[in-house]
Amino acid sequence: MCHSHKIMSRSKNGVLTFCEHSKLFRFVYNNLCFELYEWELDALREYIADLDPGYWEAHLKNWGHSRKIPISVGKKHFIILVDREEVQEIRGLLSLGRRPIRLLDAGEIDYRIFEN
C-alpha cells in the first residue's frame, strides 16, 4: 500500500482508505473496488443509508437467489446484489449508523484482582 493511503475503516470483507496524494477514497468490498471523490462517497453513503432491506426482501421473496437487495452503481445496467448482512457491513465500512461506544461496568470486566 502507498504511504499516502490512510485506512478509514475495515471489516471482514472490505476496507475504506483515503489517499492524501490523489484525494480519492478507495472502497474495496469483496471483489469490488471503487475510487471515489468525497462528494461521490457522500452520495454513496446517502444511497446505502436509504436502502430498505426489508422492502427488497419482500419484493423479491420468490426470486431464487439469496442476495435480493440491489445497489445501483453508476449506469442502469450495472447492479450489485447483496444480502441484509452485507448491507450492514457496508454501512459500517462507510461509517453509517455510528453507535456510541458503550463503556463496561466494573462487574462486566472478567479480571481477577490480586492483592499484595
Residues 27 and 9: their CA atoms lie apart, in Å, by 10
Instruction: Name the pTM for this structure.
Output: 0.74
Across 25-29, 62-66, 85-89, least confident range: 62-66
pLDDT band at 76 (very low <50, low <70, confident <90, very high): confident
- Domain definitions of the chain by residue range: 5-97
CATH code 1.10.10 for 5-97: no
Residues 59 and 65: their CA atoms lie apart, in Å, by 13
pLDDT band at 104 (very low <50, low <70, confident <90, very high): low
pLDDT band at 2 (very low <50, low <70, confident <90, very high): low
Q: List the Cα angle 55/69/74 in 5-degree steps.
A: 120
pLDDT for 32: 92
